[in-house]
Amino acid sequence: MSDLYAVMGNPINHSKSPQIHSAFAEQTGQDLIYSAILVPLEKFKEEANSFFRNGLGLNVTVPFKEDAWQYADTYSSRALRAGAVNTLIKKEDGSIHADNTDGIGMVRDITINHDCAIAGKRVLVLGAGGAVRGILEPVLEEKPLEVVVANRTVSKAQALAIDFSDIGKIVGCGFDQIEGPFDLIINGTSASLSGELPPIPTSVIHAETTCYDMMYGAEPTVFNQWAESLNAAATLDGLGMLVEQAAESFNAWRGVRPESAPVISRIRDSLV
C-alpha cells in the first residue's frame, strides 16, 4: 500500500499542495498518495487521530494551525520561533513532530532559485503578523547586515524585533520611519490581498534592490507593480516559496529533496 500524506484545512479545495506533492512523488519515484481533507471546524483532533492511524505526514492550513500546534508532541526550533506549524511528521515511536517550513522555503527560493544572497544585505520586511514571524529566523540565519521590520502598528514590529534580537541585528519601526535604501525588500503584509500598498517611501529602492512579495497571483501583485515602476532590479512573488515550503516538508517526510523548478513552472502556467 502507498504511504499516505495529506493537507487539512477548511476550505481546502483551493489548495495546490496535492498537485505539488504528487508532482514531487512522480519526479522522485516515491510511492505515496497525497490528498486534501476538508476538516469540519472543531474536528481537527478527531480527523488527525483518524488520519495518523495509517498516515505518515500532514500539512495544515487555515484555520487549523493552532490546533496543529496543540496536537504535536515535539517542535523544531523554527516552529517554536515562528509560533506556528504547517507540517506534522509521525515518528517511528508514534509521536508527532511539528515543523514550520514556510520561512526556509522563502529563503531557499530567494537564495537558490533566484541566486540572490541575503548575507551582508540590508533587508526591509514589511508587516509584523504571523507570516512575518514565520520567516524571521531563517532570514536572520543567512546573516544579513541588518533587518528592519516596518509595520502599520509599530508596537508589533518592535515586539518582533525584540523576540528575534538574539539571532542577528533587527529593529522595528513604523512605515514613516523607514530609512532606505535596501538591497532586499520582503512584503509580508496582507495588503496585497485587498490590492493595497503599504505606505512606504520610494527611497527604499535603488538600482540593485530585489523585491519579494510573499503573495502571488496570475498578475503581478500591487507591491511588485509598484517596485517595477521604480525600476527595482528584480520583482519576485511567493509562488516559489509555496513550492519550496512543500519541498522542505517532502524532504522531512521522505528524506529526498525534489527539484522545485519544474513544479514552479507547472503551477505558474496553471494560474488564472
Show binding-site residues for NADP(+). Answer: 127-131, 151-156, 214, 238
State yes or no: residue 268 binds ligand ATR (CB under 6 A): no
Cα separation values, 109 from 37, 52, 119, 196, 234, Å = 27, 30, 14, 24, 13
Is 143 tagged catalytic?
A: no
Give the contact letters, 150-169, x = binds to ligand ATR (CB under 6 A), - = no.
-xxx--x-------------
Contact yes or no for 140/147 (Cβ under 8 A): yes
Residue with cell 504571523: 130
User: Annotated binding residues for shikimate, as ranges?
Assistant: 15-17, 61, 86, 102, 216, 245
| Catalytic residue selected from 45, 65, 121, 169 | 65
**Least Å from the CB of residue 2 to ligand ATR:** 33
Euclidean distance between CA atoms 236 and 223, whole angstroms:
10
Among the listed residues 21, 13, 9, the one whose alpha carbon sits nearest the alpha carbon of residue 266: 21
In this structure, the number of other CB atoms found within 10 A of the CB of residue 169 comes to 14
Q: Which one among 136, 191, 263, 264 touches ligand ATR, defined by CB under 6 A?
A: 191
* Three-state DSSP class for residue 272: coil
By CB under 6 A, tell whether 189 contacts ligand ATR.
yes
Residue 264 near residue 246 (C-beta atoms within 8 A): no
Residue 204 makes CB contacts below 8 A (sequence gap 6+) with 124, 178, 180, 181, 182, 185
CB of 86 to ligand ATR, least distance (A): 12
- Whether omega before 138 lies within 30 degrees of 0, making that bond cis, reads no
Using the rule CB under 6 A, is 83 a contact of ligand ATR? no
**Phi and psi (nearest 5°) for 241?**
-65, -40
Among 73, 196, 208, 259, binds ligand ATR (CB under 6 A): 196
Judged by CB under 6 A, which stretch of 4-12, 63-71, 72-80, 188-196 contacts ligand ATR? 188-196
Helix, strand counts (H, E) of the chain: 10, 12
**Number of residues binding to ligand ATR, judged by CB under 6 A:** 14
Cα dihedral sign, 244-246-248-254: negative
C-beta closer to ligand ATR: residue 159 or 252: 159
Among 55, 57, 103, 198, binds ligand ATR (CB under 6 A): 198
Of 52, 190, 233, 252, which one interacts with ligand ATR (CB under 6 A)? Answer: 190
Closer of 102 and 253 to ligand ATR (Cβ): 102
Q: Which amino acid is at 196?
A: E
Closest CA to 20 of 261, 219, 215: 261
Site string for ligand ATR, 99-138 (x = CB under 6 A): ----------------------------xxxxx-------
Q: Which residues are catalytically annotated?
A: 65
Q: Name the site residues for ligand ATR (rule: CB under 6 A).
A: 127-131, 151-153, 156, 189-191, 196, 198
